[in-house]
Amino acid sequence: MTPKIQLIDVHKSFGRKTVLDGVTVDIAPAESFVIIGGSGTGKSVTLKCILGLMRPERGSIKVDGEEMVGMRPRDRERVLTKFGMLFQGSALFDSLPVWENVAFGLIQGRRMDRRAARDKAMEKLAQVGLGADVGDLSPSELSGGMQKRVALARAIATEPEIIFFDEPTTGLDPIMADVINNLIVKCVKELGATAVSITHDMHSARKISDRMAMLYRGKLIWVGATGEVDKADNAYVDQFIHGRAEGPIKMEIRG
């Protein structure tokens, strides 16, 4: 079976700093894959390389067997219609009301009529537990948790085949974080989508993933089923999942 997403020996650096150092992984269709790792280990860069927001120096990235590295912009736009993404800071367009944020991909990407798109947006807002009254508000009028829900509604509005979640629970209180986790699990299951999430929140990672990988110094040092992470015979993984200051991972003071 063709992997939904395939990364082969992906390298990316910024100046002298190597961020991705030969990342290789296959992600199967309808799988929920989570990349864990500390801050600055290259998790976000991995997602940005897959989306074409950054170009790796070396390696291959395939989506449904199509090579993304060096793809023509018009072809990339076509492939990107398969994607939805929940950004860490929600990244809602503050010049647009909430409903138009949710309907953005339908109106701009799918050329849907504005009225039909608005109805669909309201439906998606209801799906993430937000009432129709929220639709006409500006994103700046919402709390962080509500903004995350709107961002989730926007990510799933076009019913994408692949959804990326960038630190979905960062900055939320534990209850709201769990609400978002439940919504992610529900939405991904309902859509039958392939999900790739990056997080350093282990509670969230365990809850939303089928399979996990740990990124450390630009390499995937461990990949396995979620249930196996506690039994992983890897000192780095063990230190990270238990959140210990002592161990082989040393916090870098300088980048």
Binding residue for another protein, selected from 7, 45, 49, 85, defined by CB under 8 A: 85
Taking residue 184's Cβ as centre, other Cβ atoms within 10 Å add up to 25
- In the chain the first and final C-alpha atoms are separated, in Å, by 40
When computed from its CA atoms, the radius of gyration of the chain, rounded to whole angstroms, is 18
Decide: is 105 part of the binding site for another protein (CB under 8 A).
yes
Q: What single letter denotes the amino acid at residue 37? A: G
Q: Tell me the C-alpha distance between 209 and 197, whole Å.
A: 8
Closest CA to 42 of 196, 217, 240, 209: 217
* Residue with Cβ nearer another protein (109 or 248): 109
# chain residues binding another protein, by CB under 8 A = 27
> Is residue 164 within the footprint of another protein (CB under 8 A)?
yes
Interaction between residue 108 and another protein (CB under 8 A) = yes
Given 33, 83, 216, 222, the residue binding another protein (CB under 8 A)? 83
| Strands 211-216 and 17-27, bridge-based pairing | unpaired
Q: Is 154 in the site for another protein (CB under 8 A)?
A: yes
CA distance 238 to 228: 11
Q: Least distance (Å) from another protein to the CB of residue 158?
A: 8
- Under rule CB under 8 A, residue 89 binds another protein: yes
Binding residues (CB under 8 A) for another protein: these are 48, 51-53, 73, 77-78, 80-81, 83-85, 87-89, 91-95, 104-105, 108-109, 154, 158, 164
